[in-house]
Amino acid sequence: MTQDAGTIWLTQDAFDKLKTELEDLKGPRRAEIIEKISAARDEGDLKENSGYHAAKDEQGKQEARIRQLEDMLRRAEVGETPANDGVVEPGMVVTIRFTGDDDTEKFLLGARENLAEGDTLDVYSPQSAMGSAINGHKKGETVTYTAPNGKDIQVDIVDAEPYRS
């Protein structure tokens, strides 16, 4: 599965959850905020009306989330869980070891929205320096990439398995 720099890989389940959240924010939740603002406005002087300012702040945050969701859904590439073939691609839980280090690091290659609720697994974007370098490589391979600070870093791909929520 290839991705351009603007694509976000999502499972069908994650896509559906985001779409449901967007519909809720644009429908009932937007109407609730408008009601709160209207009720607070009816209380009088807006300069010293904390209820009005809190509702406007909440509205701003909600509208920002709506824009974020619309952007993500527009750029989404919906796919099924990848095959368990040891090849690194979006949707895989990857275990790497920095060459010369004994410790391993485990993360999901993909989007945070693919994680099950409560899952604390780190997430690396396929467009990140390491993500783009290891994408398409196999378990057992060593890959070199250039970090944002300009330093070349080598990682050993210890494992790559499909994410299961």
Whether 139 and 86 have beta carbons less than 8 Å apart is answered as: yes
Whether residues 85 and 71 fall in one domain: no
Q: How confident is the model at residue 49 (pLDDT cuts 50, 70, 90)?
A: confident
| 108 inside domain | yes
What tokens appear for 96 in the block? 């790497």
Find, among 118, 114, 115, 105, the residue nearest to 160 by Cα.
105
Output phi, psi for 26, to 5 deg: -80, -20
- The pLDDT score that the predictor gives to residue 129 is 93
Give me the CATH number covering residue 129. 3.10.50.30
Highest-confidence range of 40-49, 109-118, 153-162, by mean pLDDT?
153-162
Looking at 63, 78, 93, the residue that finishes a domain is: 78
The total number of structural domains that make up the chain: 2
Mean pLDDT for 13-17 is 87
Whether residues 97 and 114 fall in one domain: yes
pTM: 0.68
pLDDT in tens, 109-156: 988 888 878 888 999 988 899 999 999 999 999 999 999 899 999 999
Task: Give the residue with greater pLDDT, 76 vs 3.
Answer: 76
| 1 inside domain | no
Mean pLDDT for 18-34 is 94
State yes or no: pLDDT of 5 exceeds 80: no
What tokens appear for 17 in the block? 């959850």
Whether residues 21 and 71 fall in one domain: yes
Domain span at residue 15 reads 8-78
Whether residues 66 and 130 fall in one domain: no
Mean pLDDT for 46-51 is 79
Mean pLDDT of the chain: 88
Amino acid at 71: D
| 131 inside domain | yes
| 17 inside domain | yes
Whether residues 52 and 32 fall in one domain: yes
- The pLDDT score that the predictor gives to residue 60 is 95
